[in-house]
Every structure is written in structure tokens, then in C-alpha cells.
């Protein structure tokens, strides 16, 4: 009953994470209510993801050119390297305005069941960056998720970097602001105790 273009558009939306068949069909129907120039602009913007976005060959985050703007910035601290799983996390850390170093995007976390092994991630490239003669990197920050996959990846990287002179750190964990102890799970409370800080008057 559906015209093939509407069916194809709905199928495309349905392939997105978190979008079901009904929502996908609503999106397709909504687009059909828009002027043709709006639909054409929308399609052009999506097409731009394939034609205008590349991967930085230094840090491996998505960018409009390689090297990306962060890797080209001479003002960034070259002694500190923040390792993240995806490009989205680069944006989130940059929004804090706190970190002024450089990045390395792994392209995911280790998950053998999903086919993500060390060979499929940018781990070898990370080792190469550190091993380059005259490298200024003194600290690597493992900014990975505090879950099984993130912990597994962090442990693997620690082992790979064990024989390097680089200092390895990981993001602190603990209780979020405003959290009540009675509602904290055991792992969060344990992390808060292990990462406790001295109070100063």
C-alpha cells in the first residue's frame, strides 16, 4: 500500500538505533508533509556525512579534514593524551573546557562477542604514537566507560603500556553531586572510597 520511496525512507529510519517501525514510519510521513526543498536539504545534509566527513589520521576522530583542528592546534598540551572509545566522547570532554591536551580515539571498546578485538581497534596506532622518537607524551588518561567493556579495555591497555615510561591514569569515579549513600550501589560506593580526596579547610 505504501509508495516505494516512503517504504524505503521508513526502512532507513527503522535501521537507526532506538527507532522502531512505527516511529520510522512517522518520520517518513512527516518528511512527506514538508516542502520539496526541505526534503532535498535534509537529504543533502545526510549525504554530507558520507562525502564530507573523514577520520583524522593522527587521533582518529571524525573531522572535516585530516589532521583535525585539535591535532593542528599548536596550543594543545602535547604531553597529555586522552584515550577515548568514540568521537562523541571527545566532544563531551571538550565541552567541559578542562582538558587541554590531545586525544586518541580507539573506535570502540573490547568486546569479543561483538567482534571488537584488539586488532579491530586503534590500539596499535596508540602504541606507535607513544613509541615515536622524541614523543612528548608523559601521561595517558584512559577516559573509558566505567563498565565491563571499559574496564576490560583499560586493563588491556595498562598491560600493553606497562613497559613504557608514560604515566597511566584513569578518570575518577565515585558518588555524583547530591547523591545519597543509601541509594548508591556497592560498586559506586567502593569507587568513591578508593578515590577519596583529602579535605582542606
For 155-193, the pLDDT digits (tens) are: 999 999 998 889 999 988 787 777 777 777 787 778 777
Could you tell me the CATH superfamily of domain 4-52? Answer: RecR Domain 1 (1.10.8.420)
The segment(s) of the chain belonging to CATH 3.40.1360.10 are: 55-170
pTM score above 0.95: no
58: three-class secondary structure by DSSP: coil
Residues facing residue 102 across a β-bridge: 81
For 60-99, write each residue's pLDDT tens digit: 999 999 999 999 999 999 999 999 999 999 999 999 899 9
In contact, 56 and 66? CB cutoff 8 Å = yes
> Which residues lie below 8 Å from residue 172, measured CB to CB, with a gap of 6+?
195
Looking at CATH, the fold of the domain delimited by 55-170 is given as: Dna Topoisomerase Vi A Subunit; Chain: A, domain 2 (3.40.1360)
pLDDT tens for residues 28-69? 999 999 999 999 999 999 999 999 999 999 999 999 999 999
Cis status of the peptide bond prior to 67, with omega within 30 of 0: yes
With both helix axes pointing from N to C terminus, report the angle between 36-51 and 21-32 in degrees, rounded to the nearest 10: 120
Euclidean distance between CA atoms 81 and 102, whole angstroms? 5
Taking the CA atoms of residue 19, residue 25, residue 30 and residue 35 in that order, the dihedral angle to the nearest 10 degrees is 110
Supply 121's cell numbers.
581497534
Distance CA 150, CA 158 (A): 12
What are the cell numbers at 82? 586522552
Amino acid at each position: 500500500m505504501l509508495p516505494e520511496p516512503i517504504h524505503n525512507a521508513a526502512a532507513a529510519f527503522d535501521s537507526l538505533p532506538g527507532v522502531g517501525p512505527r516511529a520510522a514510519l512517522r518520520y517518513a510521513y512527516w518528511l512527506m508533509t514538508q516542502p520539496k526543498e526541505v526534503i532535498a536539504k535534509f537529504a543533502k545534509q545526510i549525504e554530507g556525512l558520507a562525502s564530507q566527513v573523514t577520520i583524522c589520521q593522527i587521533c582518529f576522530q571524525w573531522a572535516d579534514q585530516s589532521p583535525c583542528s585539535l591535532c593542528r592546534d599548536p596550543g594543545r598540551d602535547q604531553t597529555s593524551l586522552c584515550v577515548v572509545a568514540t568521537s562523541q566522547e571527545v566532544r563531551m570532554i571538550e565541552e567541559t573546557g578542562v582538558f587541554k591536551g590531545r586525544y586518541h580515539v580507539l573506535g570502540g571498546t573490547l568486546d569479543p562477542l561483538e567482534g571488537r578485538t584488539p586488532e579491530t581497534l586503534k590500539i596499535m596506532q596508540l602504541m606507535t604514537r607513544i613509541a615515536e622518537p622524541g614523543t612528548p607524551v608523559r601521561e595517558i588518561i584512559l577516559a573509558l566507560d566505567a563498565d565491563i567493556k571499559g574496564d576490560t579495555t583499560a586493563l588491556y591497555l595498562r598491560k600493553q603500556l606497562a613497559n613504557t615510561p608514560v604515566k597511566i591514569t584513569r578518570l575518577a569515579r565515585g558518588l555524583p553531586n547530591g547523591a545519597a549513600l543509601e541509594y548508591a550501589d556497592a560498586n559506586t560506593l567502593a569507587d568513591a572510597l578508593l578515590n577519596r580526596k583529602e579535605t582542606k579547610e
